[in-house]
Amino acid sequence: MRGFLVGLGAFVVTFALAHFVVLNAVPGKIMSKVRERMMANGLPMQHWQMTPRVSPENQRVVRPAPDLAYAICVIDLTDGPVELDVPSWNAYGSLSVFSARTDNVYAGSLDARAAGTPEIRRVVVATSKQDVSAAGDAEIVRVEQPEALALIRRLAPTQEAYDAAAALMPESLCKPL
Amino acid sequence: MKWIALIVGCIFGVAAGTASALAAAGILGPGVRLGGVVNADGWQSDWTVGSPSANPWTRAYIARRGLLALTKEEAVYFTRAKDDSGRQLTENCTYRVSGKAMPALWWSVTLYDATNYLPENTDQALSYDLTKATEAGQAENWSFITSAEPPSEGNWISSRSAGNFDLTLRLYKPDAALIDNPESVLPPPSIERLSCRSQS
């Protein structure tokens, strides 16, 4: 009987430990794999890259929205903060930043029709201890780990709208501060 | 004897704990939602998606099924996998999806297969949205057909090669009232099953 209770106790403790260790590791692992896959596909670090118009043939992440034009920047803050400059859009649009744990730590409107949307949205991403005194009037986004992702979404349900969104990319910056 | 029981308990505990975590995340099986679930007539969402306050089960589930989702102030996502009679949506059947004006700046409905991807077809009919509804003069009262073959007329989302599927309703820049009280403010679109192909 005592042996059974010892075994049961060991089961309960290790079950709980393994469950929460694995559960907490899943988002970071998935995000890490997505980053690795993007870079393996030629996506450079700290550089905006427009993804092809979403279709069944080119889905990079689960549940992509086919009505949106996406641009992504893989961020590594190891050597310092990163600056994002993104022009506004004449329909729904957003600039968002995701932490290594998949949290959406920042979302700013790019919709030029919405009150308060700047012509160029300027954001500086940094870890909690990095100096951002050179950021000027940029919005500051703090993350815990140096790995992050930035994403531009622009409503582009037609090829013409997608092309117009692509034409804005030369004006968009994702670079060390 | 106690040592053997201890070792066996640990081995089974680690295995079961790991398997249950992967199952909760949807890596093994459909996944589990714990807390934060919003249910508007079968359209399900989770207001903690993308948020640092999300519990570890939601965080793992969304990482697997909706990576890079925005927080509710920017966009909300409702998913439904069953028709109005509670039957699983399948490409073998034809459905009429109908809805009213949505409490958001812009909305879309997109079909995803059981693996959380767009179905592998070339029909170029992956979604329906406010832009298409407005062009059709239906912004206030819209409807479309979901089927594996195109309808003779009207708006269409193709379910060809989707198998069992679900529909995701995205609302961008949702009204504050929707965020505060989603289950009473969202006019939930209906999914009416019209017919099914016979199974050979």
Residue A75 and residue A143 in one domain = yes
* CATH code of residue A96: 2.60.40.1610
Residue A28 and residue A85 in one domain = no
Is beta strand A104-109 parallel, antiparallel or unpaired with respect to B43-46?
unpaired
Span B14-56, pLDDT tens digits: 887 777 777 776 677 666 655 568 899 999 988 777 666 677 7
Question: Which of B21, B131, B173 minimises the CB distance to A19?
Answer: B21
Strand order in the sheet with B93-100: B156-158, B141-147, B93-100, B190-196
Cβ atoms within 10 A of the Cβ of B17, count?
23
- In contact, A30 and B59? CB cutoff 8 Å: no
Span A112-133, pLDDT tens digits: 988 889 999 999 999 999 999 9
Please say whether the dihedral angle defined by the alpha carbons of residues A126, B70, A156 and A121, taken in this order, is positive or negative: negative
Q: Which CATH architecture has domain B35-196?
A: Sandwich (2.60)
- In contact, A35 and A147? CB cutoff 8 Å: yes
Does residue A151 sit at the B interface (CB-CB below 8 Å)?
yes
Residue A72 and residue A30 in one domain = no
Residue A60 counted as domain residue: no
- In contact, A172 and A87? CB cutoff 8 Å: yes
Interface A-B, measured as beta-carbon pairs within 8 A, has a size of 182
- When divided into structural domains, chain A yields a total of 2
Contact B60 A63 (CB under 8 A): no
Residue A118 and residue A37 in one domain = no
Residue A85 counted as domain residue: yes
Q: Considering chain B, what percentage of its residues have pLDDT values greater than 90? A: 56
Residue A73 and residue A37 in one domain = no
Measure in Å the smallest separation between the Cα of B186 and chain A Cα atoms. Answer: 20
Please report which helix (H) or strand (E) contains residue A11, including its range. Answer: helix A2-40
Read off the pLDDT band of B157 (50, 70, 90): very high
Asked whether residue A110 carries a pLDDT value surpassing 80, the answer given is yes
**Nearest Cα to Cα of residue A101 among B22, B37, B56:** B56
A47 to each of A72, A84, A86, A169, how far by Cα in Å?
8, 10, 12, 10
Contact B105 A111 (CB under 8 A): yes
Residue A86 counted as domain residue: yes
Question: Which of B21, B75, B170 minimises the CB distance to A22?
Answer: B21
Contacts of B10 in chain A (CB under 8 A): 10-11, 14
Contacts of A107 in chain B (CB under 8 A): 70-71, 73-74
Taking the mean position of all CA atoms in its chain, how far away is CA A87?
18
Best probe of the A interface among B3, B11, B14, by most A CBs < 10 A, is: B14
**Structure-token pair, residue A112:** 């030029």
Question: Which of A3, A19, A24 minimises the CB distance to B20?
Answer: A19
Q: How far is it, in rounded angstroms, from Cα B54 to Cα A24?
A: 12
Which sequence spans correspond to the domains of chain B? 1-32, 35-196
Its pTM surpasses 0.80:
no
Residue A31 and residue A84 in one domain = no
Domain that holds residue A104: 49-54+65-176
Burial class from Cβ neighbours inside 10 Å (0-12, 13-18, 19+) for residue A78 reads exposed
Asked whether residue A166 carries a pLDDT value surpassing 90, the answer given is yes
**Nearest Cα to Cα of residue A85 among A173, A167, A176:** A173
